[in-house]
Structure 1
Amino acid sequence: MLRQTIKFSFRSFRKTKWLHGLNVLGLTLGLSVFLLSALYVYQEGTYEMDFTNRDRVYEVAKYWGQDSKFAKLPSNLVHVLEDQPEIEAMTSFRKIPNTDIYVDKDVYENQRVIWADSTFFDVFDFELLVGNPETVLNNPDVVVIDEKTAKRIYGTLDVLGKEFRYVQFQDKFKTVTIGGVSRTPHYKTQLAFDFLIAKKRSPFRADGWFSAGDMSYVVLKENVSLDQLNDRLLSISEEYVFPGRQDTDVLTFGEWKERGSYHGFFAQPLNSLRDSEGLIGEIMPKADVKRTRTTLFIGIAALLIAIINFVNLSTARASQRMKEVGLKRILGSTRKQLTGQFLLESFVVILISVTLSLGVVEAFIKWQPLSFGGFVEYSVLHSPEWVLGLVAFVVLLTLFSGIYPALYLSSGKVIALLNNGKGQSGFGIYNAELLRKGATVLQFTFSIGLIAAVLTMFAQISHLRDIDLGYDQDQVIVINNPQKLKDKEVFKSELARVPGVASAAYTFMTPNNPEGQTGRGVWDLPDGTKFDVAFLQVDATYFETLGIEFIVGENFNPSLSESRKAQNENLIINQAAVKAFELGDDPVGKALGNGIVRGVVQDFVFNGLKDEVEPLIIQQKIPVGFDPWWHHPLTVRISGRKIDDVIPSIKALWSEMSSLDMKWYPLSTSYESLVQAEERSFNTILMFSVFAVLVSCIGLFGLAIFTIDDRVKEFGIRKVLGASVPQIMRHFGWGFTKLIAVAFVIAIPLSIYLLNGWLSDFSRRIEISYEIPLLTALLTLLITAVTLISQSLKAGRLNPVDTLRNE
């Protein structure tokens, strides 16, 4: 019986190749979008899942005041933490991105390097393919290399004992030896590395409580809570930090906690880092919740459109098989057998579609263009759970999408079925027609919403490209590895003699650097209140180099740059700070914390696309005693010549002071990279939306084919009665146009509401005006017209002699 059922199913496919082909194409596209969306959401939720004890792993962080929070800790803390009874294991490490590795004569740039102490694998249990995790990091300067990195650089995993060099300080090389190979993590992690280099911890020092260097993570013992750990960290601050910072005869510990000079510690779970408030110096990438939700929504919308399209075309095809079903009923087929046959047909279509969609997804993952920015890295076959989920998905989708046509065809009375549905009541052809109309409205509601979303996002990205940043990024380059120079200040002074160099300035951070953050601190305002504020340290030439204009006041005095007192007392603030601190119309000379306002500059965009320009305090950089490891990029303005014409001269000067290559980039790429990140998200949504709208068009096209077959005699009679081709085309298209109009009326208000929520993340945003709904309507009409034009023309050109010859 099963063999006969399968034979009937394939015969049915051959009879209606067009409708089955459209069904397979629509489901393939819809499933591809859904699977890619689901993989992205899955990928975003898998951080740190490789680690066995992740539920008991906590990051330890530092307070500066009560509002500023830092991920990097003083070197002394690790020595105290390892003796605490609540802690089972702990480690400290430092992530060194973009490190150049020298293997023989080959240079491998921008490798991911982590310096870690000997207990790193006690907390983060990476699997070692070569080496013992308990001992491999015991000796300093021994390296654990990632599996994929070993194959990429050496072509083999047999790398034990091999040596390479990297720059440890300025241009001084350090040779290290490979002592282990780590399996590449199965899931995503903030600790993904190419090379893990063993380093000794810094020794305990009496004054070592106020530095900021390594990051620390702990594993708590069973049944120890986060509150217990935070209480312990508070007591460490009171016992060790407070006595060395304040005179206990003047302030109590409780009073010190309320001051901006407070240095305390707290912990947060590893599992919450993706969603928690960002820390200064944090390495965990934050979850983009809105992007995740938007992607998931589009994926579900595409899947629903595909399922609706499948049910639509299945019921349309079913109405043409009533006589077949009636004859089978007369010959003894039971309702159960008929239901099974039609479910089997649905299963075959779905199975073919799922197989094709898996191919599409795998091809996208392997060859996705850079414009999508590694949107999805995981395959559907990444884990057994996904495979089992996919099997369950096929079964549920078969039941969900195939149950209506199966029950609809198998439930009719024999006489009604043999009469092509005439007189059928209840679960019949008229209900099926109503279902198709409702389904068409629903799927185009989704499609119109997606069109409106794409138009809005495109307009917002164009707006971001056109805004005034408040500084001049053209003709400015950034040298981003000056810490490799033996004398940074000499290089800057000599740079002024290079033809074409107008000015240069060291800075704590370049504007809108995707990998950088401003410093933060708690400042005491004149009225006694405290304010958490961003701050920068810059050269006196910073404002000239970036073309930032002064509103009132004056620039720093370069001759005072050697004085720490001058740095603390002379402040330049932006307009947002004047407003936030209520300094009035004449802020110059007014007190701010321990300093005096020297000048006010115009607001400039310095910390991303989405936030308002926040209050900023700018201090003068002190060149003496700069930490060589701290990243202080050098901005250089080129004037009167092209950048490419001046770079060789700058590199020549650089080579006189360093044996390493100079690394630089145009400042304009910093902001551009932020816009491109949004653009990559837009490209993904655009691609998914195009696929979803295409699935809707496939459904509409299939229904048009069915409508012509179902109403062929009606159109013939109209031609006999004198209707012209354009009249029949209008009559044919009007039924579909009404459904699209209803979908438009439903979709536009919902879209505007949801898109306003998406735009609320941007401080510099567009307003949704009438142009977007109008353009959405025009595009929808164009898509509908293009989809229906061939079938409308076919309906108008039908020859009554052919359509009415059997009457």
Structure 2
Amino acid sequence: MKPTHRHPPTWAQKLLEAFGDPNTLEEVQGDLLELYVHWVETVGERKARWRYVLSALKLLRPLAKRRSSEQYTAPFSFSPEMIRNYLKIAWRNLVLHKAFTAINIVGLAVGLATCLLIVLFVTHELSYDRYHAKADRIFRMTTYGLVSGKEIKTAYSGVPAGPTLVHDYAGVEATTRFDQAGTHIVKHNHDSFKEEHVAFADSNFFDVFSISLLKGNPKTVLIEPNTIVLTETSAKKYFGEQDPIGQTLTVGERGLFRVTGVCQDVPSNTHFHYDMFGSMRSIELRNTWLNSGVYTYIVLRPGYSIAELKSKIPELVRKHIGTEIQQLFGISLDEFYRKGDELGFVFQPITDIHLHSDLESEVEPNSDVKYIYIFSIIAVFILLVACINFMNLSTAGSAGRAKEVGIRKVLGSIQQQLIWQFLSESVLVTFMALLVAIGMVALVLPSYNQLSDKQFGITSLLTGWMLPGILLSCLLIGLLAGSYPAFFLSAFKPVSVLKGQIRAGFRSGWLRNTLVTTQFVVSIGMIIGTLVVYRQLHFIQNKKVGFDKDQVLVLHDSYTLGAKGKAFRDELAKLSQVVNATQAGYLPAGASNNANDGFQPDGGSDQSTIYREKTYYIDENYLPTLGIHLAQGRNFSKAFPSDSAAVLINEAAAKRFGWKTPVGHRLWSVGNGQGNRRLYTIVGVVKDFHFESMHQQIAPLVMYYGADNYQMALRIRTTDIPGLLKTLEQKWRAQSDNPFAYSFLNERFNRIYQSEQRVGQLFGIFAGLTVIISCLGLFGLAMFTAQQRTKEIGVRKVLGASVGSVVALLSKDFLKLVVVAIIIASPLAWYAMSRWLQDFAYKIDIEWWVFALAGFLAIAIALLTVSFQSIKAALMNPVKSLRSE
């Protein structure tokens, strides 16, 4: 019997037979067999087999080229059978490489789920007020001014503004106004509820805004005084299943109102949210331009430009407001302009209000378009990181499929077929990831709604353009993410593959290194951003704000006690758990009364300058209750009857008026706008305290002596908060039938920055997800690297290498990439976060250790991710490693 090595292996002969006819094979087979026997004796049977195949390919290259060209010229078309075949092979390959498939699917699924959540948020934010039928023609009229160097930007405009525009300018089709009524106790029969969302609106409110009336005539429901329209939810709350039309409600001190209509609940994507709309004729409004204000909306006629209306504003101011400026400031309009002061109106498209408006006296806090940009960029980055993972792992695993590509090409597969094969695998993985992502979204949506303060449902992904958009996006992601692996793999030359030259080339992977670096640039940048956001929020919450916000209990709606309010305050002050009590309509946190008055220093050199400043009304207990300290002078006191003509100012006001020792100086108050003036003496200066958001510098403040009973503040000292609240509620019930409501001052203060806190939490979550996705990719690459270097590791261990040196060998390449990412990400993150901090008047400095900590975390995470595979490879038996080769 002839030795087995005298004959080439069966699989190699079959490879040759695939190339052509037997006559061609006979011409070369004899020579090849003789060479094969020689190679077996000189280099061994294993290498002889590959030399046999490579020589055959070289001899048969002309034939192979001819057959290949014939296939390329053949028409290439898709058929159901072909697509089914692609998907079947793709599925088998995915099942064969379970670990890589799982990493790809989980990484893509996390990226897609995050993007879906962000898309829900962004599309909802961009949809505000776009549902109105006349949205493209509705504008809000706001007031802008510059008085004595102080900028005035308010969402209000004067009461006569809207009707005047309709009367004077033909391009204005209609106007409607509403005024916030604040908090009211609304009663029906024996039930009473605290309603915080009540407005009084013009009769054409429902004609301008597309809020559908379910009952009542939109043209007449708000014409008569003391009529009211309820939302559907409010109607059910008060009247259940009864017909509310014609029923009556008692609205606070404004008396009895008759229900004339029921409207749909105001959509969530609207810049105002009210539960009740009373008739504007039910309230008294001062018909002035400068010392009164309502929210005014105009509707332009089709084809009329808002720019044309803006050009009429100087004429409008001169015609209607000049007289009021003379009364308020004591100078003519021309003198007012010569001083450098300004006054005018701005028209905001209603669709811009939610994202582009941050004026004084906004209807409710708006969002900011910068957060739309931030979250959109985060979504793109997270998706980019997930796609990079896919491309990295696909190209990394390509060495394992190089032989497959070589054999397929030798057997006649053309590049186009191979491209579609690999793209089908990519698209299949993407759609599998999409299914997992939708499941993830369904699981986290309740928590996400709570965090983002929205009400999304899983059906939101299936409505309108969302579902087609998601499917199309996933198809594009699959094609893009799989494009490089597909073209890269399909371009392999069979001869190079079978010689083993491709495997060596995989170890360099400059593109893969670039992609890994990009991943960690994004991850490190988001870690730095998260650290900066949390430090800024911590700074705000712990900064000395000039008053003691802890242990201060606020009782709401004390104005409902009327004349009994002061006696009730004194009664509560006698409780052992209460240190002090004040009637505090004006509070430095949360909902509060507020006012602006005009002031003029007495005896100053410039008697034409009037300063518009914030004002408070406080009693003698206000400062000690809130822990506000005096810098100069004294507090108000009952012992000084003259304090009715005295004021306190803060340090910012003293600086504004140019006084180093303000006590004893006098101020003229011109707050009523009717030419009446009253002289006040400054008796004390309080240290500056933050009575507005830290987004603004501390403004000048003037405090009059006089109790405002809108609410009460109690400084308490007890560990039994529930017991104290029970006592307070009992005393309240003895005085009032209205609901007992309270809050703590520190909680109200923190709610001012609720938007920033929400953004910080979301930012941290998204940063964590980005890091997780990056680590999944790094884990897969470490697995691939360990597999590629199995023989090298075995040889090193045989020669005496320690486990630690092997782990360091496998880890150092990845750590180099992380260090490069730190160098790139740090300046980019510093620039982005510096821009974000510009929105705060009081902010932290971005210190060097933030970047050092982010870099340390990135290196630690990368080491932990890589070390598992590195240690596993280092501990492998070298005999097994060498035998596997």
Q: Which string of whole-angstrom CA distances, capped at 9 and with x for unpartnered residues, describes residues 492-512 of structure 1?
A: 554366423443333442112
Q: 1:469 aligns with which of 525, 531, 545?
A: 545
Residue deviations 1:521-564 (CA, integer Å, cap 9, x gap) = 55446453555543323223211221211111122344778x9x
> Any residues of structure 2 matched to 1:179-578 within 5 Å, and which?
179-182=261-264, 185=267, 188-200=269-281, 212=292, 214-226=294-306, 228-230=308-310, 238-239=318-319, 242-243=322-323, 246=326, 251-255=331-335, 267-274=347-354, 278-368=358-448, 370-374=450-454, 380-381=460-461, 383-422=463-502, 429=506, 433-487=509-563, 489-491=565-567, 494-495=570-571, 498-500=574-576, 501-513=578-590, 515-516=591-592, 518-521=594-597, 523-524=599-600, 526-528=604-606, 529=609, 531-558=611-638, 570-578=646-654
CA contact (8 A) 1:93 1:117 kept: yes
Change (3 A) 1:769 1:57: same
Q: Counterparts of 1:263 and 1:800 in 2: how far apart (Å)?
A: 84
**1:734 equivalenced with 2:812 (yes/no):** yes
Match among 115, 118, 125 for residue 44 of structure 1: 125
Aligned to 1:127: 212
* Matched-pair contact (CA < 8 Å) for 2:211–2:263: no
Higher relative contact order (CA 8 A, sep 6+): 1
Q: Residue type matched to 1:83 in 2?
A: H
What amino acid maps onto 2:745 in structure 1?
Answer: L
Distance 2:833 2:324 in 1: 53
Q: How far 1:744 moved relative to its partner?
A: 1.9
**Distance in 2 between residues matched to 1:204 and 1:592, nearest whole Å:** 29
CA distance in 2, matches of 1:465, 1:49: 36
Cα distance between partner residues in 2 of 1:379 and 1:47: 19
SS at match of 1:599: strand
Show structure 2 runs of 5+ residues with no match: 1-81, 670-679
**Pair 1:10-2:10 in alignment:** no
Q: Is 1:786 matched up with 2:869?
A: no
Work out which of the residue numbers 251, 260, 275 in structure 2 matches 1:168. 251
Distance in 2 separating the partners of 1:153 and 1:400: 57
Q: Which runs of 5+ in 1 are unaligned?
A: 624-630
Structure 1 residue identity aligned to 2:820: V
Partner residue, 1:672: 750
Larger CA deviation: 6-15 vs 299-308: 299-308
1:590 aligns with 2:672: no
Task: State the alpha-carbon separation in 1 of the partners of residues 688 and 848 from structure 2.
Answer: 31
Q: Is the 8 A contact 2:144 2:154 kept in 1?
A: yes
Secondary structure of residue in 2 paired with 1:597: strand
Q: Distance in 1 between matches of 2:205 and 2:462?
A: 27
Note the C-alpha offset of 1:330. Answer: 2.1
Secondary structure of the corresponding residue to residue 782 of structure 1: helix
Residue deviations 1:83-136 (CA, integer Å, cap 9, x gap):
343321221223346656667766665563333232001211223455543444
Describe the SS at the equivalent of 1:68: strand
CA distance in 1, matches of 2:435, 2:347: 47
> Which moves more between the two structures, 175-184 or 718-727?
175-184
Name the CA distance, whole Å, in 1 between partners of 2:822 and 2:341.
Answer: 58
CA distance in 2, matches of 1:805, 1:756: 57
Query: Kindly tell me: are residues 487 and 161 of structure 1, through their superposed partners in 2, closer, same or farther at Cα, counting changes over 3 Å?
Result: same
Instruction: Give the counterpart letter for 2:432 in structure 1.
Output: I
Q: 1:355 to 1:228 in 2, by over 3 A?
A: same
What is the distance in 2 between the residues matched to 1:694 and 1:453?
A: 16
Contact preservation (8 Å) 2:585, 2:592: no
- Root-mean-square deviation (Å): 3.6
The AA in structure 2 aligned to 1:483 is Y
Whole-angstrom distance in 2 between the partners of 1:517 and 1:258: 34
Deviation, structure 1 residue 406: 0.4
Tell me which moved more, 679-688 or 693-702: 679-688
State the alpha-carbon separation in 1 of the partners of residues 580 and 406 from structure 2.
89
Compute the displacement of 1:36 (Å): 2.3
Aligned to 1:708: 786
1:578-619 deviation digits (Å, cap 9, x = unpaired): 3343312x2222345554432111111211133332332223
Q: Which moved more, 1:361-370 or 1:783-792?
A: 361-370
Summarize the Cα distance change of 1:277–1:9 in structure 2 as closer, same or farther, 3 Å threshold. closer
Contact (CA 8 Å) 2:285, 2:292: kept in 1 or not?
A: no
Q: Give CA-to-partner distance per residue, 1:337-365, whole Å, 9 cap, x none.
A: 11111111111111121232233234433
Question: Which residue of structure 2 aligns with residue 627 of structure 1?
Answer: none
1:68 maps to 152
Distance 1:204 1:618 in 2: 26
CA distance 1:658–1:59, change in 2 (3 Å): same
CA shift for structure 1 position 253: 3.9
Q: Per the alignment, do residues 676 and 252 of structure 1 end up closer, same or farther by CA in structure 2, a change over 3 Å counting?
A: closer
Other structure's SS at 1:754 match: helix
Deviation for aligned residue 1:665: 1.2
Q: 1:685 aligns with which of 747, 763, 770?
A: 763
Amino acid at match of 1:457: V
Match for residue 635 of structure 1?
713
SS in 1 for 2:658: coil
- 2:687 matched to which residue of 1? 602
**Paired letter, 2:743:** Y
- Distance of 1:722 and 1:704 partners within structure 2: 23
Task: Name the amino acid aligned to 1:469.
Answer: V
**Cα separation, 1, equivalents of 2:829 and 2:341:** 48
Number of corresponding residues: 785
CA pair 248-325 structure 1, distance change in 2 beyond 3 A: closer
Residue matched to 2:11? none
| Residue 177 (structure 1) aligns with | 259
**Conservation of the 8 A alpha-carbon contact between 2:399 and 2:506:** yes
Q: Decide whether the 8 Å contact of 1:127 with 1:182 is kept in 2.
A: yes
SS at match of 1:282: coil
SS in 2 for 1:422: helix
Q: 1:152, 1:489 → 2: CA distance?
A: 30
Q: Structure 1 pair 201/107, CA: closer, same or farther in 2 (3 Å)?
A: closer
Note if contact 1:163-1:175 (Cα within 8 Å) is conserved in structure 2.
no
2:822 is aligned, of 744, 764, 769, to 744
Residue 320 and residue 654 in structure 1: after superposition, are their counterparts in 2 closer, same or farther (change >3 A)? same
Shift of 1:718: 1.5
1:88 and 1:159 map into 2 onto residues whose CA distance is 38
In structure 1, how many angstroms separate the alpha carbons of the residues matched to 2:764 and 2:800?
46
1:773 to partner: Cα distance: 2.8
TM-score normalised by structure 1 residue count: 0.87
TM-score after normalising by structure 2: 0.80
Inter-partner Cα distance in structure 2 for 1:182 and 1:310: 47
Q: Deviations over 1:713-734 (max 9, x none)?
A: 1112212222222221221122
The 1:129/1:784 distance shift into structure 2, 3 A limit, reads: same
Q: Which structure shows the higher helix fraction?
A: 2
Per-residue deviation, 1:160: 4.3
Structure 2 letter corresponding to 1:446: V
User: Are the structure 2 counterparts of residues 557 and 71 from structure 1 closer, same or farther at C-alpha, using a change threshold of 3 Å?
Assistant: farther
CA contact (8 A) 2:216 2:260 kept: no
Contact 1:511 1:606 in 2 (8 A): yes
Corresponding letter in the other structure for 1:388: P
Percent of paired sites with the same residue: 29
Shift of 1:643: 4.9
Q: Secondary structure at the residue paired with 2:413?
A: coil
